[in-house]
Structure 1
Amino acid sequence: MKGKRTNLENAECGIARSLQVIGDWWSLLIIREAFQGKERFGEFQKTIGLAKNILSSRLKKLVEQGIFRIEADEGNAVSHRYVLTEKGHELYIVLIALWQWGESTCFQPGESRYHVVDRRSGEQIARLELKTEHGRDVGPRDFRIAKLATAEEASV
């Protein structure tokens, strides 16, 4: 028996709220395919190999969450396209971070056959780095979560 999924939409953590929107692997794979130019239900189904009912459910949720918008398919009056919104496009950095982490930790040396490259030059994308607002490098032990001051606290 499956347990009921916890609703994270009101969590105080940005990671938790993000997972509420895109927290299952199918959603991220659908978004990955959209960045590769896929827009139609059948294209997603063919490339991911996901059952139609699950794909339908995930696409519906991604539309409801504003990751995709539905547009008419000029070539087919009974079909439509799923187009990434600005909110959806902002996920590119998440996908690149996951890709790079996966390349460095989930493959044996020489096993990976793909790289993320710049569309124009074909040059491989450099490893992502975190920096402070003033440009200092931030490593895995150099950050913490800090609470924002409320308007009342800031005025004191």
Structure 2
Amino acid sequence: MRGRHRVRQVLNYANLSTPLGLLIAVAGRAKVRRGEHGLLYAHGYRIPFPVAGAFTVGNVVVTAECDGYLTGALLRHEARHATQYAFCAGLPMLPLYVLALLVSVLVCGHPASWNVFERLADLDEGGYPRHPSRWRRHRAGRGDRLRAGGNRSRRGNRLRARRHRS
């Protein structure tokens, strides 16, 4: 295990996020085993919340799927969340994550697309879509109408026509 993974592991035990993750895994009757990079994998989680392929609390990556599901891009994504717990001093990450989720829903209507934690963990590797912000969609739609001439007033069209004839 690399030194940075060991530091993350120690920090997440000390800040109580990994013990909480283990408690959640046991409550969901998941089978816990050691994984790569100091992570713990909890497979077979039976509680239907949160709705996600996998989620991380401290150094514990929890999934309802069978052993072997946590590989490649998804595992890298979840490992970044474990690092975020270390940077956020553990348990404060939970309310910060919920706040980021709410901001994302307000900005684009999707809980992950504008969530700063999901963006820093790489949306694509987590399997999340990239939705544009609500104001970007609105402005783009308005611009299309203006280019097509669909948003001009009749009076404005008449004035332009008069100028053009003169």
- Which has the greater radius of gyration? 2
TM bracket, shorter-chain basis = under 0.3
Name the one with the larger helix percent: 2
Q: Which one scores higher on RCO, CA 8 angstroms, separation ≥ 6? A: 2
**With structure 1 as the length reference, what TM-score do the two structures score?**
0.25
